[in-house]
Amino acid sequence: MPSEVLPAHAARPPAEAGDVALAGSELRAASGPLTSLNARLSRWVLYLACLCLAALLAVVVYGVVMRYVFNDAPAYVEQTALLLVISVAMFGAAAGVRDAGHIGLDSLVRNLPAKAQFWCKAAVEVLSGAFAVSLVLGGVEMGLSTRGATIPTLGLPESLRYAPVILSGILILLFCIELLIALFKGHKVEASWH
């Protein structure tokens, strides 16, 4: 297959773990203040998601035992579990965006020329960043609209439900910016949990 001359940034495949440049040499690891910050943030948000998952398991098991063994179901279990499910999903999603732990259907993209692969990857990061902005704006709007209400059985502000959405949106946006910078520099972003 004849090779075409491409700009330096376009000749590199998507910056994902394990990818190599067209010439066979590996992509350099991204570095810099944003990468260092995001690696720490991604690791900590992953720890937080794991902690919320463990707490969710404990709360649900406690609720089941109290309901079926002692016939005394605590009223707060359902609302606590709901807050934890939201937290696990949002924090896990944020960590997954940075470390490419999300589901991707790239069988078509991998068969495209390197330049098209590059622009598909860039489009994905831009669209993911736009989605992150919508998460933040939607979360803020919902939080403000429910600021006077309280969560039944917990007595906490209803707007607390939207804190994980807002925080995750901010993190996803930071991670998308980092991934775009790395993509245009021809670097790869190392997964923070390895």
Cβ(118)–Cβ(9) below 8 Å: yes
- Give the pLDDT confidence score for residue 91 in this predicted structure: 94
What pLDDT, on the 0 to 100 scale, is given for residue 30? 64
Residue 187's pLDDT is 83
Q: What is the mean pLDDT of residues 157-174?
A: 95
Q: How confident is the model at residue 80 (pLDDT cuts 50, 70, 90)?
A: very high
7 vs 113: CA distance, rounded Å: 13
What is the DSSP track for 18-84? Answer: T-B-TTSPBPEEP-SHHHHHHHHHHHHHHHHHHHHHHHHHHHHHHHHHHHHTSS---TTHHHHHHHH
pLDDT band at 4 (very low <50, low <70, confident <90, very high): very low
The one-letter amino acid at 10: A
143 pLDDT more than 80? yes
More confident residue, 106 or 165: 165
Give tens-digit pLDDT for 88-110. Answer: 999 999 998 988 766 677 778 88
pLDDT at position 185 over 70: yes
pLDDT digits (tens, 9 = 90+) for 22-64: 333 466 666 788 888 988 999 999 999 999 999 999 999 999 9
pLDDT of res. 50: 95
Q: State residue 101's pLDDT score.
A: 66
Written as six digits, the tokens of 46 are 């992953």
Under the banding of pLDDT at 50, 70 and 90, the label for residue 111 is confident
* pLDDT (average), residues 168-192: 90
Residue holding tokens 């704006």? 137
Q: Which pLDDT band, with edges at 50, 70 and 90, does 194 fall under?
A: low
Mean pLDDT computed over 64-90? 92
